[in-house]
Amino acid sequence: MRRNVSTTLRRRRRGDPMRAFDALPRPLRAWMAQAALPWSPTSCRRIWVKAQAQGASLEDVLARLDRAEQRTLARDRLSRLALD
């Protein structure tokens, strides 16, 4: 089935985002629910797994997610305008 988009970019295969969200640990789902940005379960899980592999505690992992979100917000021109 053709979509309503004409592009030469490769399409990404995405799974079921709700199933991916439901498979996340409860603290990570809670963090995503209150996040200022709409994070994908895949990107959050990547940060979560990497931090835990480095031996980070739950608080450290959540702080790492907060920092990632703040860096992303800082790059967003529109959010900087709202803060001024």
Number of structural domains the chain divides into: 1
Q: Which pLDDT does position 74 carry in this prediction?
A: 84
Has residue 50 got a pLDDT over 70? yes
As a whole number of angstroms, the distance between CA 69 and CA 46 comes to 14
Domain that holds residue 47: 23-31+40-83
Q: What percent of the chain has pLDDT over 70?
A: 74
Does residue 26 or residue 76 have the better pLDDT?
Answer: 26
Has residue 53 got a pLDDT over 90? yes
**Given its phi and psi angles, is residue 55 left (phi above 0), alpha (psi -120 to 50 degrees) or beta?**
left
Cα dist. 36→7, 13, 18 in Å?
30, 26, 19
Amino acid present at 7: T
Does any domain span residue 18? no
Does any domain span residue 4? no
Does any domain span residue 58? yes
Threshold 0.85, pTM exceeds: no
Does residue 22 or residue 8 have the better pLDDT?
Answer: 22
